Chain A
Amino acid sequence: MSTLLDMQGLRISAGSGAARTTVVHDVELSVDAGETLGVVGESGSGKSLSGLAVLGLLPSVARVEAGTAMFEGRDLFLLDKRERRHLRSTDIKMVFQDPMTSLNPVMRVGAQLREAVAAQGELSGRAAAARAIELLDQVGIPDPAARARRYPHEFSGGMRQRVMIAMAVASRPKLLIADEPTTALDVTVQAQIVDLVTELQRQYGTAVIWITHDLSLLAGMADRIAVMYAGRVVETAPAAQLYSAPRHPYTGGLLQSIPSSRLAHGADLPAIPGMPPDPRHLGAGCAFAERCAFAVERCRTETPPLLEHSDAGRAACWVLPAPAELLAVAR
């Protein structure tokens, strides 16, 4: 597989004036053609900012300070506005947690889709309208011809997300960035959306970056996973390896704190103590050190780099406990 997107050394700052601080530090994310990369983290981990940066969609308070994002031989961070807008309507698409942020509330769904189809330049008029209905059908919207004449607010949350996905795949994108697209949905509808994206991915060969707070969700769908904490990638590995043999204490802590049948019913959950740090006020050393049961002196003074520990896995940890130690309670 060839690398489709290779993002290196991403640094993002946010805030204004003297309060401007670095909130994403030296992040690298890469995804191969057709692959699914899961990016998991809590609020403030920088996962969404990293995804938005790819498309030049950062909120006005944030900006890319350093880094490269190579996509088919071009650095996305060097594109001008017009090139970037073109890319967003063709090769790289994004879907968000709340589809209403991207759908036009006063425009019929069919017309919006027709516009997205026409933007590809291949179809227009009646052919574009027919393709729009075909797309609605393909994403599982019942009675697509009638639904095309409706407005976004007449759709349920799950149906709206399907419309967003139809808009996204209208251009047969090479990369789809999905930022918590199922977080607001019921678990049954979430399962349907995951299946839909997986199916479209198979059909169009689209690579997916799926950003979420839910490590369980990624288990069934991601090829590789990057775990983010306080603005950094702290661990990355093929999915199977990450769940069975994590090396970063934060990954291990997350896996252990998920209630599951491994634990006795009603027993205390092995929770991670403390709380995620404010990304604007980070001290020296590893940002996870104060919550980490394995921390040593060096962790509090020196930030660990993301280093390879096996063929495909990397972790940012000076201690690098064995998987058995990290999952002691779970096994």
Chain B
Amino acid sequence: MTATTPPLLEVTDLTTHFKVPGGTVQAVDGVSFTIERGTTFGLVGESGSGKSTLGRSVLQLTRPTSGSVRFNGEELVGMDAGRLRAIRRSMQLVFQDPYASLNPRRTVREALEAPLRIHRLVPRAQREAEVARLLDAVGLPARFADRYPHEFSGGQRQRVGIARALATRPELIVCDEPISALDVSIQAQILNLMMELQREFGISYLFISHDLSVVQHIADRVAVLYLGRIAELGTYDRVLESPRHPYTRALLSAVPEPDPTRARESATLVGEIPSPLDPPSGCRFRTRCPLAFDRCAVEVPALRVDAAGDAVACHAVA
């Protein structure tokens, strides 16, 4: 890769608002970040932070209100439907509940062959072998091809969901809470699978999760989203091991540790995330922030990027 190669994904000032009865939901508001090839970008935040909408806006499954999403240098916002369909091959989505993306009346083979057929990826004669290859890649035996989704456990179903995403040989997979519906003992297996596929195929992940320990383990870079805006952004260790933004700090202090000797402090964050219909003026976090002062109510803090490429949006911390 040369210095002139654009990053795999470059999101600039992305904004997605929804008109609803009673106002406008400012789900995503001026978000910028980039994802490099073969890396994992973690997106964390509470429910209502806009992280799922952001994921869908990147894929143009939800059309952004404004801003830019460049994939391999090519602008997706406003792209015509035909070209977008072709490019979607390279960007896939894995859901929390694979049931939502698998047709219960179709066998795994049918589910995996559909994208191969639609995108004309593999000649008919080779499809059977390709299905077997995909199942093998996600750790399922080839004989599972003729089963239906309901015959699988949650973990197996998520493996099928991942196999289907892999079918089009994507460069980017957006994963929206891919392990939160799974049993604890299965979560680690699926994470291991995702890391292995990344090493093998060089896939990039936009990994959306509320689980900070998981993101800390697998993400290279992390963005913390609060009410549709990025509060803090940077390498996983900078953001999650030495956080600067008061929201990141509060979020981390709320995470329970499997160790009674490292007792969690009492809850530092009061109240709940305000409605995205009527976000606070200035800094959106100020209504719950222990460091808030006058300026925070009147001026939106800019996301200031330091020399290392880490960024924080806060008037109170340097």
Whether a CB of chain A sits under 8 angstroms from the CB of B267 is yes
| Chain A interface extent, by class | 35 or more
Q: Which one of A239, A265, A271, A276 contacts B189 once the chains associate, using CB atoms below 8 Å?
A: A271
Whether a CB of chain B sits under 8 angstroms from the CB of A263 is yes
In the complex with contacts A186-B46, A257-B184, A275-B183, A265-B260 CB distance below 8 A:
no
CA gap between A220 and B186 in the complex, in Å: 24
Q: Indicate the member of B253, B254, B256, B261 with the most A CB atoms within 10 Å.
A: B256
CA gap between A194 and B264 in the complex, in Å: 11
Q: Is A269 touching B191 in the complex (CB atoms < 8 A)?
A: yes
In the complex with contacts A187-B210, A188-B250, A220-B260, A257-B183 CB distance below 8 A:
no
Q: Which one of B187, B213, B272 contacts A156 once the chains associate, using CB atoms below 8 Å?
A: B272
Chain B residues with Cβ below 8 Å from A244 are 261
Whether a CB of chain A sits under 8 angstroms from the CB of B163 is no
| Among A25-33, A46-54, A124-132, A211-219, the stretch in contact with B | A211-219
CA gap between A254 and B46 in the complex, in Å: 25
Chain B residues with Cβ below 8 Å from A181 are none
Q: Is A260 touching B258 in the complex (CB atoms < 8 A)?
A: yes
In the complex with contacts A258-B258, A259-B214, A220-B263 CB distance below 8 A:
yes
Whether a CB of chain B sits under 8 angstroms from the CB of A272 is yes
Whether a CB of chain B sits under 8 angstroms from the CB of A192 is yes
Chain A residues with Cβ below 8 Å from B262 are 219
B113 CB to closest chain A CB (Å) equals 26
Q: Is A192 touching B267 in the complex (CB atoms < 8 A)?
A: yes
CA gap between A173 and B313 in the complex, in Å: 46
Chain A residues with Cβ below 8 Å from B195 are 266, 268
Q: Is B185 touching A276 in the complex (CB atoms < 8 A)?
A: yes
Chain A residues with Cβ below 8 Å from B156 are 275
Q: Is B254 touching A191 in the complex (CB atoms < 8 A)?
A: yes
Q: Indicate the member of A239, A270, A275 with the most B CB atoms within 10 Å.
A: A275
Whether a CB of chain B sits under 8 angstroms from the CB of A195 is yes
Q: Is A186 touching B210 in the complex (CB atoms < 8 A)?
A: yes
CA gap between A191 and B186 in the complex, in Å: 25
B247 CB to closest chain A CB (Å) equals 9
Whether a CB of chain B sits under 8 angstroms from the CB of A168 is no
Whether a CB of chain A sits under 8 angstroms from the CB of B137 is no
| Chain B interface extent, by class | 35 or more
Q: Which one of A187, A254, A263 contacts B184 once the chains associate, using CB atoms below 8 Å?
A: A254
**In the complex, per-residue mask of B172-201: 1 if CB is within 8 Å of any chain A CB, else 0:** 000000000001111111011001100000
Q: Is B257 touching A216 in the complex (CB atoms < 8 A)?
A: yes
Q: Is B217 touching A219 in the complex (CB atoms < 8 A)?
A: no
Whether a CB of chain A sits under 8 angstroms from the CB of B5 is no
Q: Is B260 touching A240 in the complex (CB atoms < 8 A)?
A: yes
In the complex with contacts A243-B258, A260-B258, A186-B47 CB distance below 8 A:
yes
Q: Is A268 touching B258 in the complex (CB atoms < 8 A)?
A: no
CA gap between A257 and B213 in the complex, in Å: 11
Chain B residues with Cβ below 8 Å from A258 are 184, 188, 213, 258
B236 CB to closest chain A CB (Å) equals 7
CA gap between A191 and B257 in the complex, in Å: 12
Whether a CB of chain A sits under 8 angstroms from the CB of B142 is no
Q: Is A190 touching B254 in the complex (CB atoms < 8 A)?
A: yes
A250 CB to closest chain B CB (Å) equals 8
CA gap between A63 and B221 in the complex, in Å: 50
Chain A residues with Cβ below 8 Å from B2 are none
Q: Is A254 touching B191 in the complex (CB atoms < 8 A)?
A: no
Q: Is B256 touching A189 in the complex (CB atoms < 8 A)?
A: no
CA gap between A216 and B261 in the complex, in Å: 12
Chain B residues with Cβ below 8 Å from A189 are 46, 272
Chain B residues with Cβ below 8 Å from A188 are 46, 250-251, 254, 267, 269
Q: Is B269 touching A191 in the complex (CB atoms < 8 A)?
A: yes
In the complex with contacts A158-B272, A188-B251, A268-B195, A213-B184 CB distance below 8 A:
yes
Whether a CB of chain A sits under 8 angstroms from the CB of B155 is yes
Chain A minimum-CB-distance residue to B215: A259
Q: Indicate the member of A156, A189, A190, A213 with the most B CB atoms within 10 Å.
A: A189
B25 CB to closest chain A CB (Å) equals 16
Chain A minimum-CB-distance residue to B288: A188
Whether a CB of chain A sits under 8 angstroms from the CB of B242 is no
Q: Is A214 touching B191 in the complex (CB atoms < 8 A)?
A: no
A155 CB to closest chain B CB (Å) equals 10
B156 CB to closest chain A CB (Å) equals 8
Q: Is A275 touching B186 in the complex (CB atoms < 8 A)?
A: yes
Whether a CB of chain B sits under 8 angstroms from the CB of A317 is no
**Interface members, chain A 191-228 (any B CB < 8 Å):** 191-192, 194-195, 213-217, 219-220
Chain A residues with Cβ below 8 Å from B212 are 187
Q: Is B184 touching A215 in the complex (CB atoms < 8 A)?
A: yes
Chain A residues with Cβ below 8 Å from B258 are 215-216, 219, 243, 255, 258, 260
Q: Is B266 touching A195 in the complex (CB atoms < 8 A)?
A: yes
**Interface members, chain A 138-192 (any B CB < 8 Å):** 142, 156, 158-159, 186-192
CA gap between A293 and B47 in the complex, in Å: 38
The 12 listed contacts between A and B (C-beta, < 8 Å) are A42-B183, A188-B254, A188-B269, A213-B184, A219-B256, A219-B260, A220-B257, A240-B261, A259-B214, A260-B217, A269-B192, A272-B189
Question: Which chain A residues have a beta carbon within 8 Å of chain B's beta carbons?
Answer: 42-43, 142, 156, 158-159, 186-192, 194-195, 213-217, 219-220, 239-240, 243-244, 253-255, 257-261, 263, 265-266, 268-273, 275-276, 291
**14 new A-B contacts at CB < 8 Å, known A188-B269, A260-B217, A271-B189:** A159-B272, A187-B254, A191-B264, A191-B267, A216-B256, A220-B263, A243-B258, A244-B261, A258-B188, A265-B236, A265-B237, A269-B217, A275-B155, A275-B185
